[in-house]
Amino acid sequence: MIKQKKNDLNKLCHIEKTPGQHPGAQLSFADTLKEHTTDFKNANPNHPKNEPMRVKISCDGAKMSRSANFMILSFSLLQTGDLVMSSKGNRTIGIVNGPESYDTLKDSFSELFKEINEVNKQGKIKDGDNEIQVELFLGGDHKFLLMVMGLSGATSDYSCLWCRIHKHIRWDMSKPLDYYHEKINRSIEDILENNKKAECSCKNKPLLEIEVYHIILDELHLMLRISDRLLENLIKEVMEKDGKEDFDKSKKQETGLNFKKLIKTINELGLTFAIWEKKNADGKGSGTYDWTSLVGSDKKKLIKLLPEKLQQSNILFSQTKDTVIKLRKDFGSLYNLINSVSRNNDFYLQIFETSKDFVILFLSLGGIRIGYEKKRVTPYMQALVYHVPVFVQKHKNFKQFTGQGIEKNNYAKRMYFQKSNKWDAARDILLLEHRQRALRHHEREKRTYQKRNWAYWDEGIIEKRKKRAKAC
Read off the DSSP letter of residue 295. P
| Maximum alpha-carbon separation in the chain | 85
Q: How far is CA 181 from the centre of its chain?
A: 24
For position 370, what pLDDT does the model report? 92
Of 299 and 14, the structure prediction assigns the larger pLDDT to 299
3-state secondary structure of 74: strand
Averaged pLDDT for residues 150-159: 91
Please state, in angstroms and rounded to a whole number, the distance separating the CA atoms of residues 278 and 284.
8
Nearest one of 88, 95, 116 to 433, comparing CA atoms:
88
Pairing mode, strands 130-140 and 215-217: parallel
For position 106, what pLDDT does the model report? 93
Averaged pLDDT for residues 148-175: 92
Indicate whether 360 pLDDT > 90: yes
Averaged pLDDT for residues 192-206: 89
Indicate whether 427 pLDDT > 70: yes
CA atoms within 13 A on the CB side of 8: 7
Element (H, E) at 457: none
For position 167, what pLDDT does the model report? 93
248: left (phi over 0), alpha (psi -120 to 50) or beta: alpha
For position 422, what pLDDT does the model report? 62
Please state, in angstroms and rounded to a whole number, the distance separating the CA atoms of residues 260 and 392.
41
Q: Mean pLDDT over all residues of the chain?
A: 86
Of 455 and 240, the structure prediction assigns the larger pLDDT to 240
User: Which of 17-21, 194-198, 397-401, 412-416 is predicted least confidently?
Assistant: 412-416
Averaged pLDDT for residues 187-193: 89
Of 257 and 183, the structure prediction assigns the larger pLDDT to 257
Indicate whether 10 pLDDT > 80: no
Indicate whether 472 pLDDT > 50: no
Averaged pLDDT for residues 393-408: 78
Q: Which percentage of the chain shows pLDDT scores above 70?
A: 92
Q: Is 410 exposed, middle or buried (0-12, 13-18, 19+ CB in 10 A)?
A: exposed
Please state, in angstroms and rounded to a whole number, the distance separating the CA atoms of residues 105 and 145.
12
Please state, in angstroms and rounded to a whole number, the distance separating the CA atoms of residues 365 and 368.
5
pLDDT tens by residue, 67-122: 778 888 999 998 888 777 777 788 899 999 888 899 999 999 999 999 999 999 99
pLDDT tens by residue, 364-386: 999 999 999 999 999 999 999 99
Averaged pLDDT for residues 448-454: 81
Phi and psi angles of residue 369, each rounded to the nearest 5 degrees, phi first:
-115, 155
Phi and psi angles of residue 416, each rounded to the nearest 5 degrees, phi first:
-65, -45
Nearest one of 236, 168, 225, 176 to 372, comparing CA atoms:
236
Q: Which residues pair with 166 in a beta bridge?
A: none
Element (H, E) at 75: strand 69-77
Averaged pLDDT for residues 143-154: 91
For position 374, what pLDDT does the model report? 94
Indicate whether 166 pLDDT > 80: yes
Neighbours of 392 (CB within 10 A): 23
For position 413, what pLDDT does the model report? 59
SS3 content of the chain, % helix, strand, coil (to 5): 50, 15, 35
Can you count the helices (H) and strands (E) in the chain? 18, 10
pTM higher than 0.85, yes or no? Answer: yes
